[in-house]
Amino acid sequence: MINKKMADLGNQPSVIREIFEYSLRRKAEIGAENVYDFSLGNPSIPAPKMVDDTIKELVESGDSVALHGYTSAQGAMPVREQIAANINARFGFPASAKNIYITCGAAASLTSTLKAVVNDGDEVILLAPYFPEYNVFCANAGAKTVVVLGKGDNFSLDFDALDKAINKNTSAIIVNSPNNPTGAIIPESDIIKLASLLNKKSQEFGRAIYIIADEPYRELTYGDDVPYIPTFYNNTVVCYSYSKSLSLPGERIGYVFVSPNCDAAADLFAAVCGAARSMGYVCAPSLMQRVIAKCDGETSDVSLYNKNRELLYNSLTEIGYKAVKPQGAFYLFMKALEDDANAFCEKAKKHELLLVPADSFGAKGYVRISYCVAYDTIKNSIPAFKALFEEYKDR
Amino acid sequence: MINKKMADLGNQPSVIREIFEYSLRRKAEIGAENVYDFSLGNPSIPAPKMVDDTIKELVESGDSVALHGYTSAQGAMPVREQIAANINARFGFPASAKNIYITCGAAASLTSTLKAVVNDGDEVILLAPYFPEYNVFCANAGAKTVVVLGKGDNFSLDFDALDKAINKNTSAIIVNSPNNPTGAIIPESDIIKLASLLNKKSQEFGRAIYIIADEPYRELTYGDDVPYIPTFYNNTVVCYSYSKSLSLPGERIGYVFVSPNCDAAADLFAAVCGAARSMGYVCAPSLMQRVIAKCDGETSDVSLYNKNRELLYNSLTEIGYKAVKPQGAFYLFMKALEDDANAFCEKAKKHELLLVPADSFGAKGYVRISYCVAYDTIKNSIPAFKALFEEYKDR
């Protein structure tokens, strides 16, 4: 009588959670400083000081009823206006409050958008490697997922494969740049090619094909630009979250921006509202709405992640590991030293290195290394990475 | 290509929202003090001081990464333990942390629970009058709703009608006590009869029939006890929210408590986890999790609502209106002075009285009057209620 699909999903072992629990046990056994846990994507840099200052200011302002009260379902109008103004200012793109739906985080942005654009029999394209939870969110919307693996060392867009994958049932493609797990940023030239392909296919099949731009890592970059996709493709919905930019992953605050250039943009926005409402999402956490209104544009101190990135990438490639230098986010995607990434991660564990095998990300033979950790964790782990490499050399 | 159902839902005119917007316009025209808006269910009493004090303490504690970081999907373990301990202490009922899933508010509690217990073809029973959004949440879970109207002035449980409504497809019944919109509390004797009926039917049809106890108003009572349903019926899932008890409706924080006495309770709990995950709910807002851990058990100053209730109920019945005195929540359910509640509300508007016609609550010929307003709003509105009544006397 229980819904079995939901029970299975709730009982599904999660690779990352299992590593996390192993990590806790192991740290208790041999001391936290001796375990090199690279499994979690939890920001390790505190929120900008302005965030906590703003929270204090708001609660001291005295109007508790207004502060903690319901806002409209789409969010408080001044907050939506602020977000739209920032999109205008940063990207020179015409956003207005009526295109902005404030959400309870990145996952809510995605599930609401997917439910808004997916009809019975529709397909959604995932570009591998990808964040595994996309599968769960697509299933919730009733979409079949079609995986298109990237090309080459950097998993760049494979336009031939994409051309074949898009068909009359294709409703949307999720684009995640900077990417989890590779840290790659899709260059402008590829966004332009993708837009052109999607326009051609939309015309061919007589339907809108949406880009769902999942951008929680937009602010976490190390010199490269992240093209703003609505500028290049009309049918774009941006799913944003402040989890990483403001180091607030637990607070669940983000937004959906339906580009005004989308076909029937007002109806699409209404569908996002309806989808969110149907799942019980109305009015994102109200205190945090006010916080982001004040702190939108602020970012945590990304230079710390950059220091980690340089040390980790340089050390690993010097040892002989193969990886492409990440341009954004806080993950390094490394080739395992054998085809079976799970076996490789088990061997890494013997050296107290906790890595995530990337099979569930849709790319076999790789591991994800989260470098949102303390600098010293990376520094101290290098001998272990070296020993692991030596072990394979001897085989 | 847009999901039409979702767009329709997003575009659906909401009676309450339309009144709200009319109210804003009208207040601008004739002055806020001359408009008597009884449409909204937004708590008018500030959160207990402890709430804002706790927020300040938490942000001053300095560990921003932990405070705003991800908790586990089900919520932070110490918070779940605290909630379970409070259930034990208050109701003498054996709850443990592993039965508690912290949610992003009442709506999330309901959508997650419904998705966990509903299978294809299943039906969910709603006891009218009921909160209209139940229809939306049931549709999201794929359930057909079956409405059973209450009996008599107080809309008490109609056991004959219930007996007929329950069939082999019945998956759950939503019980909302204290009730929105009537303010009625279901007495212990009726809960016992309901439990007995459901046990009989469960046996007859060979399936669990769940009570989903939607309890956001549990703490808002004026002398009467609210029976704790898990004590009387094993297959109970409690959906709780701190929106009303702590006056935090915008913060979206609550929990699901799967009674350990449920059949296959661990699987059911897993299904709630899976359902929440599929919709993108993981880790309820982290700062607020810590706030409720400290403030669970506190309540806003309900005596202010009680003052409002006494004044409103006494004044209206003295004029000649018919209503049952609410025992809880902050709504008064009044018989309209003609069969068409919408027409009645239009006439009330001429007297600057903004009431909600209750057709969408599943009971025709009634209006909902929210008395979570300023005392003076009620006091000043009485002559208008009187004039409205006189108008009908002359017809």
pLDDT, mean over chain A: 96
**CA-based nearest distance A105→chain B, Å:** 9
**pLDDT of A216:** 96
CB A136 within 8 A of CB B277: yes
What does CATH list as the number for A70-295? 3.40.640.10
Q: Pick the residue from chain B with its C-alpha nearest to A279.
A: B111
pLDDT band at B393 (very low <50, low <70, confident <90, very high): confident
ipTM for the whole complex: 0.96
**CA-based nearest distance A3→chain B, Å:** 5
Q: What angle do CA A343, A349, A355 make, to 5 degrees?
A: 75
- Model confidence at B394: pLDDT above 80: no
pLDDT band at A294 (very low <50, low <70, confident <90, very high): very high
Average pLDDT over residues A138-155: 97
pLDDT per position as a tens digit, B151-190? 999 999 999 999 999 999 999 999 999 999 999 999 999 9
- Model confidence at B87: pLDDT above 80: yes
**pLDDT of A393:** 87
Class of CATH domain B50-295: alpha beta
Q: Do A68 and B136 touch (CB under 8 A)?
A: no
pLDDT band at B313 (very low <50, low <70, confident <90, very high): very high
Q: Do A69 and B249 touch (CB under 8 A)?
A: yes
HSE at residue B160, side-chain half, CA atoms within 13 A, is 1
Out of B1, B52, B250, the one facing A283 most closely (by C-beta) is B250
| Domain A4-48+301-393 and domain A70-295 have a common topology | no
Chain A residues with beta carbon closer than 8 angstroms to that of B269: 10
Chain B residues with beta carbon closer than 8 angstroms to that of A117: 1-3
- Of B41-45, B117-121, B213-217, minimum mean pLDDT range: B41-45
Average pLDDT over residues B64-93: 95
Phi and psi at residue B267, to the nearest 5°: -65, -40
Rounded to whole angstroms, the Cα distance separating B244 from B291 reads: 15
A161, two tokens: 């494969």
- Model confidence at A394: pLDDT above 80: no
**pLDDT of A17:** 78
- Model confidence at B297: pLDDT above 90: no
3-state secondary structure string across chain B: CCCHHHHHHHHCCCHHHHHHHHHHHHHHHHCHHHCEECCCCCCCCCCCHHHHHHHHHHHHCCCHHHHHCCCCCCCCHHHHHHHHHHHHHHHCCCCCHHHEEEECCHHHHHHHHHHHHCCCCCEEEEEECCCCHHHHHHHHHCCEEEEEECECCCCECCHHHHHHHCCCCEEEEEECCCCCCCCCCCCHHHHHHHHHHHHHHHHHHCCCCEEEEECCCCCCECCCCCCCHHHCCCCEEEEEECCCCCCCHHHCCEEEEECCCCCCHHHHHHHHHHHHHHCCCCCCCHHHHHHHHHHECECCCCHHHHHHHHHHHHHHHHHCCCECCCCECCEEEEECCCCCHHHHHHHHHHCCEECEEHHHHCCCCEEEEECCCCHHHHHHHHHHHHHHHHHHHCC
Rounded to whole angstroms, the Cα distance separating B261 from B269 reads: 12
**CA-based nearest distance A392→chain B, Å:** 35
Chain B residues with beta carbon closer than 8 angstroms to that of A42: 65, 69-70
**CA-based nearest distance B354→chain A, Å:** 19
Q: Do A108 and B280 touch (CB under 8 A)?
A: yes
pLDDT per position as a tens digit, B241-274? 999 999 999 999 999 999 999 999 999 999 999 9
**CA-based nearest distance A297→chain B, Å:** 18
pLDDT per position as a tens digit, B97-155? 999 999 999 999 999 999 999 999 999 999 999 999 999 999 999 999 999 999 999 99
Q: Do A137 and B287 touch (CB under 8 A)?
A: no
Phi and psi at residue A331, to the nearest 5°: -125, 145
Q: Pick the residue from chain A with its C-alpha nearest to B44.
A: A65
Q: Do A285 and B104 touch (CB under 8 A)?
A: yes
Q: Do A6 and B56 touch (CB under 8 A)?
A: no
**CA-based nearest distance A201→chain B, Å:** 14
Q: Do B68 and A117 touch (CB under 8 A)?
A: no
**pLDDT of B1:** 85
A259, two tokens: 């580009």
Out of A4, A270, A285, the one facing B7 most closely (by C-beta) is A270
pLDDT per position as a tens digit, A216-254? 999 999 999 999 999 999 999 999 999 999 999 999 999
**CA-based nearest distance A374→chain B, Å:** 12
HSE at residue A34, side-chain half, CA atoms within 13 A, is 9
**CA-based nearest distance B49→chain A, Å:** 9
pLDDT band at B20 (very low <50, low <70, confident <90, very high): confident
Q: Do B115 and A71 touch (CB under 8 A)?
A: no
**CA-based nearest distance B110→chain A, Å:** 8
pLDDT, mean over chain B: 96
C-beta contacts of A315-321 below 8 A and 24+ residues apart: A315/A378, A315/A382, A315/A385, A316/A385, A319/A382, A319/A385, A319/A386, A319/A389, A320/A389, A321/A385, A321/A389
Q: Which CATH architecture has domain A4-48+301-393?
A: Alpha-Beta Complex (3.90)
pLDDT band at B21 (very low <50, low <70, confident <90, very high): confident
Cα B377 to the center of its chain, rounded Å? 24
- The domain segmentation of chain B, as residue ranges, is 4-47+301-393, 50-295
pLDDT per position as a tens digit, A325-377? 999 999 999 999 999 999 999 999 999 999 999 999 999 999 999 999 999 99
Class of CATH domain B4-47+301-393: alpha beta
- Name the pairing type of β-strands B356-357 and B366-370: antiparallel
pLDDT band at A13 (very low <50, low <70, confident <90, very high): confident
pLDDT per position as a tens digit, A255-267? 999 999 999 999 9
Q: Do B285 and A46 touch (CB under 8 A)?
A: no
Q: Do A6 and B107 touch (CB under 8 A)?
A: no
**pLDDT of A21:** 83
Average pLDDT over residues B55-84: 93
Chain A residues with beta carbon closer than 8 angstroms to that of B59: 52, 55-56
Task: Find residue B123's DSSP bridge partners.
Answer: B144, B170
**pLDDT of B124:** 98
Q: Do A9 and B274 touch (CB under 8 A)?
A: yes
Share of chain A above pLDDT 70, in %: 100
Out of B43, B139, B268, the one facing A2 most closely (by C-beta) is B268
- Model confidence at A395: pLDDT above 80: no
Supply the pTM of this predicted model: 0.96
- Model confidence at B62: pLDDT above 90: no
**pLDDT of B311:** 98
Q: Do A251 and B137 touch (CB under 8 A)?
A: no
Rounded to whole angstroms, the Cα distance separating A48 from B68 reads: 12
Chain A residues with beta carbon closer than 8 angstroms to that of B267: 2, 7, 11
Out of A11, A47, A139, the one facing B278 most closely (by C-beta) is A139
pLDDT band at A14 (very low <50, low <70, confident <90, very high): confident
Out of A69, A280, A283, the one facing B137 most closely (by C-beta) is A280
Q: Pick the residue from chain A with its C-alpha nearest to B285.
A: A251
CB pairs under 8 A between A and B: 263
Chain A residues with beta carbon closer than 8 angstroms to that of B274: 3, 5-12
Chain A residues with beta carbon closer than 8 angstroms to that of B1: 117, 119, 171, 207-208, 263
Report how far apart, in Å, the C-alpha atoms of A219 and of each of A158, A184, A226, A250, A277 are: 25, 13, 9, 18, 29
Chain A residues with beta carbon closer than 8 angstroms to that of B140: 278-280
Average pLDDT over residues A89-105: 97
Q: Pick the residue from chain A with its C-alpha nearest to B67.
A: A250
C-beta contacts of A143-147 below 8 A and 24+ residues apart: A143/A114, A143/A118, A143/A171, A143/A172, A144/A169, A146/A170, A147/A362
